[in-house]
Amino acid sequence: MKNFLLKLSLIVVLLLSIRTVSANVSLVVLGDSLSAGYGLSSEQTWVAELDNRWQKTHPNFNIINASISGETTTGGLRRLEGILQRHQPDALFIELGGNDGLRGFNLNTVRSNLKQIIDKARAENVEVALSQVMVPPNYGQRFAQQFTDLYKEVAEQEDVRLIPFFMEPLIEESSDYVQDDGIHPTAEAQPKIADFLEPYLLDLMQKAK
């Protein structure tokens, strides 16, 4: 009887531990300075803000910020394999392309890079969401529209969720949310970005569970 109870206890403990491990869901944010927090500390970024919230509301959700200021889609693609191996995420949020657009990179290259990032992540059974990215209209209306449309095309062709560009409502709401360079969000904008992205990323995390 004692042996039976001991074995039963061990089985229960094992099942609980397996359940706990399987319940943990991790998200990697693969972005540029908009997510890395240009001019801010890492604790001030929208990623850190959302991670702090989820520690209270969704303690089994974990966010890894793999964003680098100045990153391009080419750089993100180059780093992706190492990121996937190191963190083994369940979900990936891609926020890349702004620097490609600002530097006038070939749109076909941007398109190809984004598709390869998505395909490589999916090959590892990672749920993917793509952020819409826009360039300022002073780069020319035609180029700006082509750049915007590129993301819609990639999302449709790859069948991934396209999340609206989180900077657009901030710029429309107040100039206080944008740094003097007219591109990067301020510290005050970070909670707003977290508010905007949270429902989309929660949906992504639920799919990745």
**Hey, which residues are catalytic here?**
33, 181, 184
Query: If you ran DSSP here, which 8-state letter would residue 39 be given?
Result: T
- Give the type of residue at 23: A
- Give the type of residue at 206: Q
> Cα dihedral sign for 72, 78, 79, 81?
positive
Distance CA 22, CA 200 (A): 22
Tokens of 19: 């359940």
Distance CA 184, CA 168 (A): 12
The answer to whether 133 touches 95, Cβ cutoff 8 Å, is: yes
